[in-house]
Structure 1
Amino acid sequence: MSCICKIKEGMGSFTETEEKLANYILDNRQEIIMLSAQELADRVKTSAAAVVRFSKKVGYKGFTALKVEMAKESYDEAEDFNTIIKENDSIETLIKKSEAINTKAVTQTYKLINKDILQKAIDSLNNCKNIYIFGVGASGLVAQDFQYKLSRIKRIAIYQQDSHIQLASAAHIGPGDIAIGISYSGETREINVALRKAKELGAKTIGITKFNNNSLAKIADFPLYIPSEEKEIRIGAITSRMTALLITDLLYLGIAKNDVDKTEEYILKTREIIKAFK
């Protein structure tokens, strides 16, 4: 998972001191790798202990580990777009902006992936009894897509469109089951209630949410992150829907490759029955 990306995505959850540290690090990346924790602290007018705490908050054992990861990264980044659309944009501009924003979102999503957590989530899905999926609104569309893909390879997942029925289904989850909650904000009440209930009943939980210290990320045994969006482009669930689909596709592929021969057999069977209606 990219160090720079983690710092950028964590901005919404940082304290004032942590935000100052984050901004200084992002603005002085090449200098940072040459500084000690105390030297960075002096520049930001804080303590070395605060620098270490910040490093741990973004996922590293200490400031040295953070610097090592930062030194590995390339600093050639695409130009950011502050807004997705303007009234006088031509169709050509609109296409270019859409391409740039979506390309950036895809790249950031893959950078945010923690391979160990993803592997544990896939292993749990391959060994579980039942799969329960929770999502409302645009996240519900992602849940439906995942349910459909799983059905094609004979892995039946339980998803209900009505949020109240979703909560009712959560009451029947048990040990050996998996509950997957999808929520960009991580604060969708129905999803968090369902996943808390699943944990209470002994099930493992997967959360697909933005990279932030939100409630869903805290609840989930296996949090899988998608990028945060700028407020200006939150005119609809555009990149959040796409990036959540990238995560569920990875989960699907991880399940499918567990037994490639069986997967191929099941897909051929579903294709044959659908062909009968064409």
Structure 2
Amino acid sequence: MFLIEKMELYPFSANELHIAEYLLEERYHIENKTSADIAKETYSSKSALTRFAQKLDYKGWVDFKKAFLSELAYIDKHNSNIDANYPFSAKDDFLSIAHKIANLEKEAIDDTLSLVEQASLSKAVSIIDRAETVHVFAASNNLLNAQEFSHNLSRIQKDVRIHQLQGEHLFKAFLAKKESCALIISYSGETVSLKHTCRILKRQQIPIIALTSISDNAIAQSADCRLYLATREKLYSKIGTFSTDRAITYLLDLLYSCIFSLNYQHNADLRKRAARFIEFERTSSSQILHED
């Protein structure tokens, strides 16, 4: 859930509701206002602002204000004419659908790229690079999105294990070795089984990388490192998960590419040697596909 949605739905007191309404009305205008300014304009106090922020799971007013302004910027920057939930209508012909799906998926990648921060990406890559085993926890079709990631890393001798059996992933989290890390993929960040997995991993002191929406969610809060997905789809009311799937695939491809780059020449030679040895019967008459 977006912070703005949370503010609209939270059962605040009358005074806190007035603060929420003020913030939603003023939006960017609060950027250069102090907490004293806002307290005065909302007929409250600085301590009331702190309590307001804490009810929304922030340490204090400064953390809340930063998150609020960042979310506003994200939403305003990524408004699109294409509805990620229903990107085409019953009246669209096949070619129109083709263009709309292509544009939606391009926007999902651009959107996700804009959320990538150097520090978070570097930390995620470092965690995976140091780990002897990467445990991937996800649900539903997100498990399918992780298959190619596992395949690619295995080709450069990185051990990746995708845990699919319902209930069994809790045992895998508990039994994970200290030298491993966990990658949790959850768009909502509130999947009950994955939140339970997070708690076990934290108890076992296993580093967690979360791929999740930019909403203020439980899995994001539990993770040691967060990479954010384009956040444009509703949970249930949609034709498919086009935008989210493309965002997840992009981030997983990005992580693999960064890991590959750490030992670029060795990994390139390894993949080429292995492919030539194993796939020697593959041929093509196309000059484009022809190997030197």
- TM range, smaller chain: 0.7 to 0.9
Partner residue, 2:82: 81
State how far apart, in whole Å, the 2-side matches of 1:76 and 1:179 are: 31
Q: Who is 1:5 aligned against? A: none
Change (3 A) 1:216 1:270: farther
Q: Is residue 107 of structure 1 aligned with residue 110 of structure 2? A: yes
Superimposed CA distance per residue, residues 73-102 of structure 1 (whole angstroms, 9 cap, x where no aligned partner): 9x8866433441221122343233223322
- 1:57 maps to 2:57: no
- SS state at 1:163 partner: coil
Which among 200, 203, 207 is matched to residue 206 of structure 2?
A: 203
Cα deviation for residue 58 of structure 1 reads 5.9
Cα distance, 1:161 vs structure 2: 2.8
Say whether residues 1:241 and 2:245 are aligned partners. Answer: yes
Residue aligned with 1:97, SS: helix
- Aligned residues of 2:212 and 2:228 also touching (Cα < 8 A): yes
Match of 1:122 in 2: 125
Kindly report which structure 2 residues correspond to 1:112-261, keeping only aligned pairs within 5 A, or say none: 112-231=115-234, 234-261=238-265
Closer/same/farther in 2, CA of residues 11 and 114 from structure 1, 3 Å limit: farther
User: CA RMSD for the aligned pairs?
Assistant: 3.4
- Secondary structure in structure 2 of the residue aligned to 1:89: coil
Structure 2 gap ranges (5+): 11-16, 54-59, 283-292
Q: Distance in 1 between matches of 2:149 and 2:43?
A: 46
Structure (1 or 2) with the larger CA radius of gyration: 2
Q: Alignment identity in percent? A: 21
One-letter identity of the residue aligned with 1:57: F
2:82/2:104 contact within 8 Å kept: yes
Aligned partners of 2:215 and 2:82: how far apart in 1? 22
Alpha-carbon separation, structure 2, partners of 1:122 and 1:241: 21
Long gaps (5+) in structure 1: 1-7
Paired residue type of 2:271: I
**Paired positions, count:** 258
Quote the Cα distance in structure 1 between the aligned partners of 2:168 and 2:115.
Answer: 32
Specify the alignment match of 1:3 in structure 2: none
Shift in Å, 1:170? 1.6
Q: TM-score, normalised by structure 2?
A: 0.74
CA–CA distance in structure 1, aligned partners of residues 204 and 266 of structure 2: 31
Distance 1:171 1:89, change over 3 A: same
Deviation at 1:122?
0.9
Partners of 1:99 and 1:23 in 2: CA distance: 35
Once residues 77 and 264 of structure 1 are traced to their aligned partners in structure 2, the CA distance between those partners, rounded to angstroms, is 36
Partner of 1:145, secondary structure, is helix
